[in-house]
Amino acid sequence: MPLDQKTILSAVKEAKEKSEKRKFDQTVELVLNLREIDMKSPEAKIQEVVELPHTSPAKANKICVIAQGELAMKARKAEADRVIERAELESLAGKKKDLRKIASDYDFFIAEAPLMPTVGKVLGPVLGPRGKMPVAVLPQVDIVPLLAKHRKTIIVRMRSQPIILCRVGVESMKEEELVENIQAVLRVLEGKLKRGTKNIKNLYIKTAMGTPVKVKA
């Protein structure tokens, strides 16, 4: 399966052309059908965090920081989408509706390491099944670049079938930016699959509500 820019760019352009215009900025998605994958093997347990080269500020990931003291203050100053301190975290214990809403509202979670035992107890049951368990950080971490990184990060995972679907941007982004994002995902997968890109049977690009366009070999 080709990784060259020209081939992918052609498919991105076609996918955008075939997409019916909507009143919102549709996501652009990458769909991979894999082959020769033993779904019972460790190889099939793909769950990779990929930092994309480009993102749309309007569609950047929403990040929740769980911290206390100085780190909580720095996270607010750095405009984290939400900061949960220890007292609030402890008060959420057992409030299933509130916990589910937090798990749904935020794409990524960053937690101060000393709070991780409480985070695991309170939020673990709702974040674990969603693949959103927090990244643990030390209290003295520089939160600014960490937030910037996670705003551009996606999780690429394979579940019960040899299929991977992930978003790589939005329609309003430049086509060249979308191509670079797609290539970033493919490079990570190439390193995780036993036969690299040879394990990719078909590769499609589509908008959220558009027609899939096959990347021609």
pLDDT score, position 1: 53
Which amino acid is present at 188?
Answer: V
Q: Does one domain contain both 131 and 176?
A: no
pLDDT score, position 100: 96
pLDDT score, position 38: 81
Q: Does one domain contain both 113 and 89?
A: yes
Domain end (from 125, 151, 177): 151
Task: Please give the C-alpha separations between residue 165 and each of 102, 156, 161, in angstroms, as whole numbers.
Answer: 24, 7, 11
pLDDT score, position 24: 86
Q: Does one domain contain both 89 and 171?
A: no
Q: What domain range includes position 101?
A: 61-151
Domain end (from 151, 170, 187): 151
Q: Does one domain contain both 68 and 143?
A: yes
213-214, strands of its sheet edge to edge: 163-170, 27-34, 200-207, 213-214
Q: Does one domain contain both 80 and 22?
A: no
Q: Does one domain contain both 204 and 191?
A: yes
With H, G, I as helix, E, B as strand and everything else as coil, classify residue 52: coil
Give the CATH number for residue 142: 3.40.50.790
| Residues of the chain falling short of pLDDT 50 | 2
Q: Does one domain contain both 102 and 176?
A: no
Task: Please give the C-alpha separations between residue 127 and each of 60, 89, 103, 132, 193, in angstroms, as whole numbers.
Answer: 20, 14, 6, 5, 26
Domain end (from 151, 170, 196): 151
Q: Does one domain contain both 51 and 158?
A: yes
Give the CATH number for residue 157: 3.30.190.20
Q: Does one domain contain both 133 and 73?
A: yes
The percent of residues in the chain predicted with pLDDT above 90, rounded, is: 65
Structure tokens at 178: 């979308």
E strands, the chain, where? 27-34, 47-51, 63-66, 82-84, 108-112, 135-137, 153-157, 163-170, 200-207, 213-214
Q: Does one domain contain both 52 and 100?
A: no
Q: How many domains does the chain have?
A: 2
pLDDT score, position 21: 82
DSSP annotation of 92 reads T
Closest CA to 4 of 179, 200, 198: 179
Distance CA 142, CA 209 (A): 39
Q: Does one domain contain both 168 and 138?
A: no
Biggest CA–CA distance in the chain, Å, is: 55
The percent of residues in the chain predicted with pLDDT above 70, rounded, is: 98
Q: Does one domain contain both 101 and 165?
A: no
Each residue of 144-198: pLDDT tens digit?
999 999 999 998 888 888 999 999 999 999 999 999 999 999 999 888 888 777 8
pLDDT score, position 82: 97
pLDDT score, position 3: 63
Half-sphere exposure in the Cβ direction for 82 (13 Å, CA): 17
